[in-house]
Structure 1
């Protein structure tokens, strides 16, 4: 992972002045609502280069200007910007003004809702109410997860549990990679993947059968006056619910097809550069459930076993206990 432009270290504690000066100028230009294209054209013409030595592109500059560390800030567990105690290259006021420009005036920057999220749907649930924990950007625009509020699509969610996406995903990834590094686990990956794909195939077959039953039900209602409208609607609703449920679960399980088997000598290095679908497949393969609990204190950035409980998938009865709380 490359260092952040403007800093000498990954902890963002030592400023590299040769980069800080052009970064301040770029921020000043953006603060005055100059386009990212115009700013990067200027930076390239002046001979400024990225940390990798390449030419500046609008998307690269947008990511740098959107990083809270450039203003001595950090996002807490609720996605709020707070003082990190680190050095400030860009004044916080300017940083926040630039971030406010992002969704409205910057077509090159993806909106927060379009950002990638590691956790596959339906994998995480709320420790308070059992509802689905899904992607939900914070008011500041940062990536986050929360217990989805009570809605027709996700009934029963309390909406009270939130967690910062970066902290959450890093915690889960570290534990999953540690688990996969165990010889007894890595030896079972191929077999486990095949078993899960077989389960997904069975669900697909059930979906196909239920759709056929649904068609037959419609034909029966059209032919037979003995089947009342209310009975038809009740049966059709039940089949529709079952079809949707099995189809969603099948798609969820089918993510494991992207998991590499037997050809990954360095899991950590592979993970850093792996496609999102492959990472999600690994999570689906190894985890049955992730339960997220409320933070111990408002604004806490601590993510540990008390905050996130991992339930490992049980590949065979003798392998392990069904549930393990990592921490």
Structure 2
């Protein structure tokens, strides 16, 4: 009779093979349709300026609002009423976009709170299936975290960073860390800009789902207070523990008890010219992350208003969380 480890290994490989087969079989027409909606080139604003203050933010917000309005008009002309309506919402006068690019599914960076006066800053990195078509869900999470931190009265800002092409949940791309490799240096550069702009602020990076793979890839260049990985499919590469991230940040990890991501095989397997799987689960005992209370919600419930994980994550980025080791 086969040993239990061998049985588990075969089951995991079989499950991964099934996921691969399903991913390859799913048509990618939906992604192509979102990318096909035309949009103008983004405003050429350059990086954030150290000491730019409120004046720079006001200029950026206005320039990107104009870009969103232009993209809305182009989408309407193209006949995509849904995209035009989505962009109309983003163009509201109270929205604060540091950058906006409506092409290829969309790239946006939006601020919730006052970045010019913030003493606490969280950069929120999303996971798969995040684009202009699903942006409301992403923005709602950032808004909930900023509200949990106390809003403007607490001088906290949350930056929703949709700065990369997120993979589709059911696609070959989500099974590899290729998108994370592409996104990591972009995230590193952006966080450096934020820290130069607001050098006195306590900055953390909050990473959901595939976004945690992006953050793990970027960790060595993220000189932040905290790195928060949750709902993670894996940290990529063949990392066995936190030391492999080469970061000075305190690394936190959490997974809700009803998150389906727990059933994803946390392994890596060479296949043809690539490696499938995203490696170690950061909540694994021995990885060395500080575990936080993540409640009993599902994969999309971590930043739900009033939830246990939202309170936990807000405590971490504010510096109020208990830093005693909770994993060995």
The structure that is helix-richer by fraction is 1
The structure that is strand-richer by fraction is 2
Normalising by structure 1, we get a TM-score of: 0.24
Highest Rg: 1 or 2?
A: 1
